[in-house]
Amino acid sequence: MTTYGSFPGTRPRRLRTTPAMRRMVAETRLHPADLILPAFVREGVSEPVPIGSMPGVVQHTRDSLKKAAAEAVAAGVSGIMLFGVPEESKKDAVGTPGTDPDGILQVALRDVRAEVGDDLLVMSDLCLDETTDHGHCGVLDEQGRVDNDATLERYAEMARVQAEAGAHVVGPSGMMDGQIGVIRQALDRAGHQDVAILAYTAKYASAFYGPFREAVASSLKGDRKTYQQDPANTRESLRELALDLEEGADMVMVKPAGPYLDILARVADAVDVPVAAYQISGEYAMIEAAAEKGWIERDRAIMEALTGIKRAGARNILTYWATEVAQKLRD
């Protein structure tokens, strides 16, 4: 005999008998407002450019990006996270396009904000990797190492420029020590107290970023293991979490999502601020590729993966399927 009775009187399968029963007792439900759409906009193209390793995802033109933002609003998605892809010739050692008011990301922020106003949270990736000719998330010192404190100066300027371009939320993703505090101070001093910070708190040095490198036309030389976290570690994520909250993060994120559900659950249990998770390009590509081969059922796999991320504790999920899934949830 247990607290719940014993067989044959107790039969848990009774609560799985019909779709209506399973729906009624479901403990986790996805909603369109849970979802945030990551989107890429590429400078100098006249048509959207398909990303080969991410079937169904494109590098947008300015016009197609505005259309995608409008579709996200109509589907009930909460936000759109923008990544700018500048022309290769404009990249340099310090990522100048990232702070140029006329850089592609800032132009796109103004475009999307004009298109959707406050109906969609317009978010900006705050990192230098798309704009540097070496592909790292910061500026390099004379020995070729990422210079943490010099990078923070660039992040402060990026935050101001992105806020002035219309970002509701900035997403610092570079994993520099002290970045949240520096960015919060820069925003406040520039009069942008209402711009929120979604901190990439636990961002791991993952093999699953591969397709993203194609999506942003990365110029990366080497790897990012000196600033992104070691996949073997848990405690350092909680240390990063404590630091980000102390420095003023409004929301926190775990990235990637699927391989780090244990980290996501630990973070969600530890805080009282919104927690996001980023279902990254490799997670997307694996499902799409396996479905294309006929090895898995695509739509069910997508919903199962997203439900698992929410069940682990994510309030919001960045996913390339955001608009598609939101539309299905509303049907």
Catalytic positions: 203, 255
Beta partners for residue 36, in sequence order: 79, 318
Here the tokens at position 74 are 């109509």
Beta partners for residue 276, in sequence order: 253, 316
Contacts of 278 (CB under 8 A, 6+ apart): 38, 200, 253, 254, 255, 256, 257, 317, 318
Determine the longest span between alpha carbons in the chain, in angstroms.
73
Spatial distance between the Cα atoms of 284 and 5, rounded to a whole number of angstroms = 42
Using left for φ > 0, alpha for ψ between -120 and 50, and beta otherwise, residue 28 falls in: beta
What are the C-alpha distances in Å from 281 to residues 56, 74, 286, 298?
12, 24, 9, 16
